[in-house]
Structure 1
Amino acid sequence: MKKALIILMAIYSGNIFSHGSEKHDELETKKQKEKNDNSLIINLGEEYKGQIKPIFARSCFDCHSQKTNYPWYYNLPYIKDMIDKDISDALSHIDFTNDFPFVGHGTPQSDLTYIKKSINEFRMPPKSYQYLHPSAKLSEKEIEIINSWIESAMKRLKD
């Protein structure tokens, strides 16, 4: 009985202290890549906060974040439901609440592609929103700034 117990303890302790099939160099490479990816995302997020976020806060946050400033007419009959639906639809596409990377349909790259296409085709902010919020309209300079940040981010995310 003692021999069986000693053999079981030896097998069990071998499993606890073994590395299995893990190779340290592969694990370290994977950890370093994850660290580099996280650092890149953090850096892109910091650039976003300084340059892009103020533009998005003025033009996009009312629909694409949890930081909506509801207009005076929000509580009018039928208007509330319409606005709530618009916000819900907008958030289902992309949510800027927690900064970059955004909560969207996919990868940071696909979200950036979506944003670039939307602003370059003048679909965002929507004209219907701009009628009552003229300050939300993006200037040509702001579109250039956003496009420049997106292009830089896309290049760095590919590397």
Structure 2
Amino acid sequence: MRRGTLIIPEPAARDASTGSPVEAPAQREKLVTEFSFLLPRGYVDGSGTVHRDGVMRLATARDELVPLRDDRVRENPAYLTVVLLSRVIERIGTMDDIHPGIVENLFATDLAFLQDLYRRVNTEGHTRATVTCPSCDHHFAVDVSGGRLGES
């Protein structure tokens, strides 16, 4: 006769109001909706303060549709980037009222960085990129959101 351990699973948790099964907290996957970044150059405000760190959130369908009705975008389709980024950037430095005027005044390097970050988080779902060391040909992943070395 073979001996073993009998494992009896815990009963599934149930919603008190509906009686429906509820996933255990450990089994739930957490959806990341905000991504921190560090601008390569930084936004310079009217007083000369440089703001580099910020937060971008995932875009909604509304974020992508509303700018299409904007007259500035109708007149100049390239302006779509400015309006769209102003909708999804939650904060740059100490500023949390991000509007198209702020995005317009970003350095081109920072605008390109934010466009790439937007594409990565909204199409790929992460801020990592695979890179290759030009010296040794080693492949590894880096976080392009701008975290400092040694931070997790």
Q: TM-score, normalised by structure 1?
A: 0.25
Larger % of strand: which? Answer: 2
Rg (Cα) greater in structure: 1
Q: TM-score, normalised by structure 2?
A: 0.26
